[in-house]
Structure 1
Amino acid sequence: MTAQSDALPGVSYVMPVLNEVDHIEAAVLSLTSQDYTGPSEIVIALGPSVDGTDDVISRLSAADPRIRSIRNEAGSTPSGLNVAIRASSYPVVIRVDAHSVLPPDYARVAVETLLATGADNVGGIMKAVGRTAFEKAVAHAYGSPEGLGGTQHHVGGQAGPAETAYLGVFRRDRLLEVGLFDEDIKRGQDWELNRRLRATGGTVWFTPALEVEYRPRSSLRRLIRQFVATGIWRGELARRFGSANSLRYFVPPLAVIGILAGLVLGIVGSATGIWWFQCAYLAPAAYLVLVIVAAVRAARHGLGTAAWYLVVLPCIHFAWGTGFLLGFLGITKNIKQYTGR
């Protein structure tokens, strides 16, 4: 595939799916509505769902011959991606998430960028969009400095080479060359794959011209589960690859340690009368102020969203930070089934 090619390269949309009956139809329809005029196919790797997801896929496949499904018996995201990529036919592979909704020009802009830059992988902005007050609170956390840090993948920035990319639009030959996704890494496998692409002379390219709508988890339990899992695997990646990880990943776990240590020392100081131990209360007090101020700022999305933000923000911080510590310390043998997908 070269920039001088006259014909548009074919694109293969690949999507691992497991128990996503509430979101899968919107995700797939956003692919069939693309304005890309080159050939395309949609390859869906079906995990062992129990919520009716497979029935939705069957109905969509019957209505559009471009959609086909294959089994992903392992059920994990990286195994599903690899199964779908191996079954794909075209030179451009577009990774899709069941919680994502692509704008109609996504494939067209992505391929144009891939050809113009010569990159191995192109990605853009994950724009979280909530429907309920809870989901809006989560969406706000995704794009705020006090939430997930306000990185370019959430808030935008200048186009150029990047460490990693959201989802990803890949040259298929380069995916095969570096060995596809590591199936032993259940979360953060995109970062690790992009690390290998860059290590072998490739380029990962960020462009704000690509913006994907993302639907956040719809309940507190699912949100906590998601961020514990993400934190565990990010901690494990930090342990495996050390300095290759950004220092910003260490902020939440250090904050968790500082806040909990402050509470413990403060309680000990109150019980023993040691006043300078009681000064440790300043750490959790400062964090509480940060959360309250952030919730006030979130009120522009509605009072319900602001109220939920008081709960959502600490849950994200403590779930991710605690998970990171477990992963970084290697205390994950009995937890990885919980975080498998």
Structure 2
Amino acid sequence: MHLPALPPLPAVSYVMPVLNEEGFLERAVRTILDQDYAGEKEIVLALGPSTDRSNAIALSLAAEDGRVRLVENPERDIPAGLNRAIAASRYPIIVRVDAHSELTPDYTRLGVEILGSRHAANVGGIMRAAGASDVQRAIARGYNSPYGLGGGAYHGDGAAGEAESAYLGIFRREAIDAVGGYDREILRGEDWELNLRIRRTGGLVWFSPALGVTYWPRASFADLARQFFATGTWRAVLVRKYGRANPWRFFAPGALVLGLTASTGALVLLTIGVLPWASAWTVLLVPMAAYLAGIGVAVFRIPDQRGIRDRLLTATTLVTMHLSWGAGFLRGIVFGGGRIFGRGRVVDRSRV
């Protein structure tokens, strides 16, 4: 992929899908307007059929500042909304943002500099999850730990370098146009899928820990479970579509669920006497024992915890993430994605 040199301070379009984000939207938009970037800026919000005050907040922001523009996203899906926002945008740099994320003030300036110096198609940084309540902070700890989400560079403080994907992303418009934008059939994992196609056309995806984004995750375990079930389901769809292009780590949660299912069945049969304890069948208990030991180690190694309550909440977070993702993955392998979204976000009134 040949990309021409960037001019000094190229104009930037931020694109954001919005659905039921009343507790987050205004702050997210203001962190964009407050970026210390001297080039021209615009924000295009793709408004889904929200059932809260999100669209009213968006209308107010657009009336207050002409750089905020609005488009409708009746399909409600993230990829459709992003494509609509990109189509309505005007500038050569596309910055993909989320309503529940907040950019550091230097995010755009540093990102555009890296994009030009590396001749990259896309640049991303670190997602730093944060929480307002005890449960949300525990969920944030899961996001920020390799024990929760695995080995993605943007969940830690890895070294700068070529990357498989990027969290959100600062794109050259030419790179997005060259691959036809987001795939509207991929309702989750759309960023990974787009970056895969960009890389296959010769585009460079670059990770830099100098770029930081604050992410506000789900604030309840029920919402987290729904989100991760959907994420696992759509990862399975990507496995079905792209096979070995998927890293091996994405298969681990599904294998975990199968192993724990075998362990649970064996434990029941051993307990009621159908199987003898003095037999080789007890080997089926190994996955459960190993997993519980692993959770115990993780709970005591993850930082920023205070007391037994925090550790119990962290353990609940990890188990919810792993088993929901793994169950969704197995469902997706067998049945495909269907209309599973995991997009519903209950408003966190502590941030409204």
Residue by residue, what CA displacement relative to the aligned partner does 1:29-80 show, whole Å, maximum 9, x if unpaired?
A: 1101100000010000000001110111112112211111110011100000
Q: Give the letter aligned to residue 315 of structure 2.
A: L
The alpha-carbon deviation at position 159 of structure 1 amounts to 1.3
Report the equivalent of 1:109.
Answer: 110
User: Amino acid of the residue matched to residue 312 of structure 2?
Assistant: A
Amino acid in structure 2 at the alignment position of 1:204: V
Q: Give distance in 2, aligned partners of 1:27 and 1:174.
A: 25
Q: Secondary structure at the match of 1:325?
A: helix
Letter in 1 for 2:330: L
**SS of equivalent residue, structure 1 residue 272:** coil
**Equivalent residue, structure 2, for 1:288:** 292
Match of 2:324 in 1: 319
Taking structure 1 as the reference length, what is the TM-score of the superposition?
0.95
Q: In structure 1, how many angstroms separate the alpha carbons of the residues matched to 2:304 and 2:49? A: 41
Using the TM superposition, give the Cα deviation of residue 11 of structure 1 relative to its aligned residue in structure 2, in angstroms. 0.1
1:322 maps to a residue whose letter is A
| CA distance in 1: counterparts of 2:294 and 2:276, whole angstroms | 27
In the alignment, the residues of structure 2 paired with residue 143 and residue 150 of structure 1 have an alpha-carbon distance, to the nearest angstrom, of 11
Is structure 2 residue 303 aligned with structure 1 residue 302? no
C-alpha offsets along residues 63-98 of structure 1, whole Å, 9 cap, x if unaligned?
A: 211111110011100000000000000000000011
Structure 1 CA distance, aligned partners of 2:32 and 2:6? 26
Equivalent-residue separation in structure 1 for 2:337 and 2:110 (angstroms): 40
User: Superposition pairs for residues 1-341 of structure 1, below 5 Å?
Assistant: 2-3=4-5, 5=7, 7-270=8-271, 271-275=273-277, 276-298=280-302, 300-303=304-307, 304-333=309-338, 336-339=339-342
**Partner Cα distance (2:302, 2:205) in 1:** 33
Provide the secondary structure at the position in 2 that maps to 1:147: helix
User: Structure 1 residues 4 and 170 mapped into 2: Cα distance closer, same or farther (>3 Å)?
Assistant: closer
Q: C-alpha deviations, 1:158-207, integer Å up to 9, x for none?
A: 21111111101111122112100000000011111111111111111111
TM-score, normalized by length of structure 2?
Answer: 0.92
Amino acid at match of 1:117: R
TM superposition outliers: structure 1 runs of 4+ over 3 Å: 1-4, 296-300, 337-341
Q: Which runs of 5+ in 2 are unaligned?
A: 345-352
Deviation at 1:133, TM superposition (A): 1.2
Q: Which moved more, 1:214-223 or 1:262-271?
A: 262-271
Q: CA deviation at 1:305?
A: 2.4
CA drift at 1:278: 3.1
Aligned pair count reads 338
Query: Would you say the 8 A contact 1:123–1:210 is kept in 2?
Result: yes
Q: Is the 8 A contact 1:101 1:213 kept in 2?
A: yes
One-letter amino acid of the structure 2 residue matched with residue 18 of structure 1: L
CA-based RMSD: 1.6
2:146 counterpart SS class = coil
2:140, 2:268 → 1: CA distance? 35
C-alpha deviation, 1:297, in angstroms: 3.4
Counterpart of 1:19, as a letter, is: N
300 and 164 in structure 1: CA distance in 2 versus 1, 3 angstrom threshold: closer
- Which amino acid in 2 is paired with 1:288? L
Partners of 2:191 and 2:326 lie apart in 1 by 20
Unaligned 5+ segments in structure 1 are: none
Secondary structure of the corresponding residue to residue 280 of structure 1: helix
Conserved 8 A contact 1:92-1:172: yes
Distance 1:132 1:142, change over 3 A: same
Deviation at 1:293, TM superposition (A): 3.0
Paired letter, 1:216: P
Counterpart contact for 2:143–2:155, Cα < 8 Å: yes
In the alignment, the residues of structure 2 paired with residue 200 and residue 126 of structure 1 have an alpha-carbon distance, to the nearest angstrom, of: 26
Pairwise CA distance, 1:150: 4.3
Contact preservation (8 Å) 2:126, 2:155: yes
Q: Counterpart of 2:69 in 1: which secondary structure? A: strand
Contact 2:236 / 2:336 at 8 angstroms: preserved in 1? no
Q: What is the one-letter code of the residue matched to 1:115?
A: G
- Does the 8 Å CA contact 1:266/1:279 hold for their aligned counterparts? no
**Equivalent position SS for 2:148:** coil
Letter in 2 for 1:163: E
CA distance in 2 between partners of 1:89 and 1:4 (Å): 16
Kept after mapping to 2: 8 A contact 1:299/1:305:
no
The one-letter code sitting in structure 1 at the alignment partner of 2:316 is: V
Deviation per CA, 1:289-314: give whole Å up to 9, x if none.
Answer: 22233223347422332221121111
